[in-house]
Amino acid sequence: MVRTKTGLTIVERAMSQIDGFQKVLRTLEQQTAMRGQSTSTLNNYVRRIAAISLKFNRLPEHISDDELNEYLTGLALSAKSPSRSNFKHAVYGLRYYFRHIGQGKRAINLPPIKKDDKLPTILNQSELKELFATPKLLKHRIILSLIYSAGLRSQEVIRLKIADIDFERKTIHIRRSKYNKDRIVPLSDLIAKGIRKYLAAERPHDWLFNGKEADGRYSSKGLSWIMRETLKKSSIKKKVNLHSLRHSYATHLLEQGASIVTVKELLGHADIATTMVYLHVAQCEKVKAHSPFDRLYSTPKCSDRHSN
pLDDT of residue 274: 86
SS3 162: helix
* Cross-sheet strand order for the sheet of 183-186: 165-166, 171-174, 183-186
Comparing CA positions, the residue from 308, 152, 134 lying closest to residue 232 is 134
Quickly count: other Cβ atoms within 10 Å of residue 103's Cβ: 15
- Which domains does the chain carry? 10-108 (no CATH), 125-280 (1.10.443.10)
Q: Which residues are catalytic?
A: 153, 178, 243, 246, 269, 278
Could you tell me which of 236, 209, 220 has the C-alpha nearest to residue 131? 236
Q: What is the pLDDT along the chain (308 residues), one digit of tens a residue?
A: 444 444 578 999 999 999 999 988 888 888 777 776 667 778 888 888 999 999 999 999 999 988 998 888 888 776 555 556 778 888 888 998 898 888 988 988 888 876 666 889 999 999 999 999 999 999 999 999 999 999 999 999 999 999 999 999 999 999 987 767 899 999 999 999 999 999 999 999 999 999 988 899 999 999 999 999 999 999 999 999 999 999 999 999 999 988 899 999 999 998 888 898 898 888 877 656 666 656 666 644 433 433 34
End-to-end CA distance of the chain: 62
pTM: 0.66
pLDDT of residue 167: 97
Report H helices in the chain: 10-17, 21-35, 39-56, 65-77, 81-100, 104-108, 125-133, 138-150, 154-158, 189-202, 220-233, 243-255, 260-267, 272-275, 302-305
Cβ neighbours of 198 (radius 10 Å): 21
Instruction: State the maximum Cα–Cα separation within the chain, in Å, rounded to a whole number.
Output: 78
Residue 279 has a pLDDT of 86
Question: Which residue(s) pair with 186 in the sheet?
Answer: 171
C-alpha to C-alpha distance for 241 and 226, rounded to whole angstroms: 10
